[in-house]
Structure 1
Amino acid sequence: MSGLRERKKLQTQEALSWAALRLTVERGLDQVLVEDIAAAAGVSPRTFNNYFSNKAEAIAWRHLNRARQAADRIRERPRSEPLWESITRAVVAHAGGEHDQPDPQWTAGVRLMMDEPALLGEFLKAGAKAAEECAVAIAERTGTEPTDLYPRLVAAAIGAANQAATEQWVRANPPVPLAPLLEDALRQIAAGLPDPSA
């Protein structure tokens, strides 16, 4: 029973977060009310408040949830696979296909959204939680402790790769798919970030 309850809770969070993101991209954060988000997700404003304390938290939840899914996928990858290959496959899985061309209107909206101070604060909080989730998965994979330096460094590197690739993606003109940017960022980190001018 609790498994069903957890799935329903996750579905509601997903619906609310997606509605908050979509409406914010379309209108701007200040033009979106909690009531709008709740209506778009098919729930009451009270239900929204049961899950999230504000609009920005609802949007940032998607980032945290993707990190949790990536951590689960890292755990599911074959142990015989090199660690950074597992990380790359797990993290890129949420980024769409390498030939998926983004809608320019969507990336423009995301770009504006990324400059919202309230959202930046929530994304920093979500990023810290996401790093903890990834560090646990990396520690399990490497036989270390989540508090050890190595899993924490790897988790921080994953977060940095995700942020850099996303920033490149929303500013690319003409638009480009996210997946190849994210894969390239992770592969450069796995290679030790060699000097491109050398």
Structure 2
Amino acid sequence: MGPSNKTAVSEFLLMQVTEDPELKPFLFILFLSIYLVTILGNLLIVLAVSSDSHLHTPMYFFLSNLSFTDICLSTTTIPKMLVNIQAQSQSITYAGCLTQIYFVLVFASLESSLLAVMAYDRYVAVCHPLRYTVIMKPCLCSLLILLPLFIIIVDALVHSLMVLQLTFCTDVEIPLFFCEVVQVIKLACSDTLVNNILIYF
């Protein structure tokens, strides 16, 4: 596309939950209730595990980390969606979109890696029950969370910085309720080959 079609993007437009003004209050209350239940439920798990010494085992350690990650992932996307349900505008700033991309990548990837770590923990518990406490030491449990977290943070930073290099056309409508890296890349006017290779990698 020619340079005349390019513009300095200051904001993106997110998809509306509904265009019916009568449905907006109902949907706002529904999503707010689901969000609060998610936050409170996960917070109770974290507090229960941290306060009860009987639950200081690898399985509950990973579970509390998964609950905390779920709180963070929900908080990355849902509050902005709730604001947009109430507002007339469905916009999100360019910086806000990049920030949301980064944190969605971090917390979604961390949830996946924690589920894999929890599966490994159950594998050790079932297949090596007598050596379980020897294998799943606290230092290994911490390493199984910190090492993937470090890789995920670097990966999300690379993707966010690569999006920062893109130029966008006048069409800046994202067909989702939040900024997702693949959908934002699709809106770019500039070459996205490197971005797509990184995503597949």
TM-score by length of 1: 0.31
The higher radius of gyration belongs to 2
Name the one with the larger strand percent. Answer: 2
Name the one with the larger helix percent. Answer: 1
Q: Which has the higher contact order (CA 8 A, sep 6+)?
A: 2
